[in-house]
Amino acid sequence: MAYHVMDEANRCLQCKVPQCQKGCPISTNIPEAIRLLKENKLNEAGWMLFENNPLTTVCSLVCNHEKQCEGHCVLGKKGAPVHFSVIENYISSTYANQMTHGPAKSNGKKVAIIGSGPAGLTIAIILARYGYQITIFEGKDKIGGVLRYGIPEFRLPKSVIDDIEYRHLEMKGIKVRPNTNIGFAITIDDLFRDGYKAVFIGTGVWKPNVLHIKGETLGHVHFGINYLNNPDSYKLGKKVIIIGAGNAAMDVARTVIRKGSSDVTCFSITKKVAASEYEFSYAKLEGVKFEYNRRPVEITDDGVIFIDVLEKEDGSMEDIPGTEKLEDAESVIISISQGPLSRLVRTTKGLKANERGLLDADEKGYTSLPGVFGSGDVVNGARTVVEAVAHSKVVAESMHQYIQSLPE
């Protein structure tokens, strides 16, 4: 472990107005967790973390700590902040082994969860605490959504997700139907027919955004979200171009390096990458190269033709004529974010989406259909795990209130 947990805990100033907590999207009571740890009350600290954030073991590893809790720590203004990510990971992963409670007493009411990503898992866990009988419908063979199929193993070990499945789902009596896509053989109407009092949609964003340029369908061109799903199924060669420079592109690039490609370059249309400083620095350290202010105009069998762009003060981009150049590559991966699949909206009468194709839901998760709720990336677009969890906590309470208001 890079930092000694207690050394970091002892550095905490126990601020009366903790800026670290203000910087946390889910308002984790960081000073209290640290205080309990220092008083040898590790289980109490762990319980508090899980009650506030059901995915605390995940968030301790994948959150953008530099801009959130650690980025707001007052010690970071003149030196190193308290690295709460290390403390949170130690507390939550250690306490997880003590979580042996069975399911809550059933209230006799069923809830359907479509999708087992961060949003779906959060909703399922919180509603299970109220005694609802939860069934998760997952389109893939295992639970986790983007946690399992979109974040590389070196950032988030699959064992962490497996532990969530055991501790939070199996032990709490939550049922999972894998390889089941709602909108095909089973519809939302079927769920209500079978007695589910409410339905939650947390299907994420799995449709890759495209460039709409010539050559995008060629055999050596792939999409980042598809690549991360199962990197071992791809034969990329030694020289790889990645179009995009966000956090997902960093995950792609670092995975490509680990799978044996030795010449990997990310191309950014802007003068700096969109990824976090941590992810960017790790990618550079591991050998990923970067090109800036280059826009792809065509993909060929031999690589990608880029044109230089001028980034103006108002943020607009202007191509520089005569600067087109072919960059050689054996494979090309496009990683410029992704959007939602539209199957559920198309197969469910009355369920509305906005102009971006995202599920239309208000801040409390209510959609255009009574009893149907949504949160996470399918509502807000691609966001962080902790933002999905924070919003889903609000939506879970809305669902609970809605079901309780229904006539018996």
pLDDT for position 100: 67
Phi-psi region of 239 (alpha: psi -120 to 50; beta: other; left: phi over 0): beta
Q: Give the residue carrying structure tokens 């532990």.
A: 163
Residue 1 has pLDDT above 60, yes or no: no
Q: How far apart are CA 137 and CA 349, in angstroms?
A: 20
Structure confidence at residue 152 as a pLDDT band (50, 70, 90): very high
Q: What is the mean pLDDT of the chain?
A: 94
The pLDDT of residue 2 is above 60: no
State how far the alpha carbon of 76 is from the alpha carbons of 82, 276, 356, in Å: 8, 17, 38
| Range name among 153-167, 223-237, 345-359 with the lowest pLDDT average | 345-359
Which structural domains are found in the chain, ordered by start?
Answer: 5-96 (1.10.1060.10), 110-206+340-405 (3.50.50.60), 208-337 (3.50.50.60)
Q: Is the pLDDT of residue 3 over 70?
A: no
- pLDDT for 271 equals 93
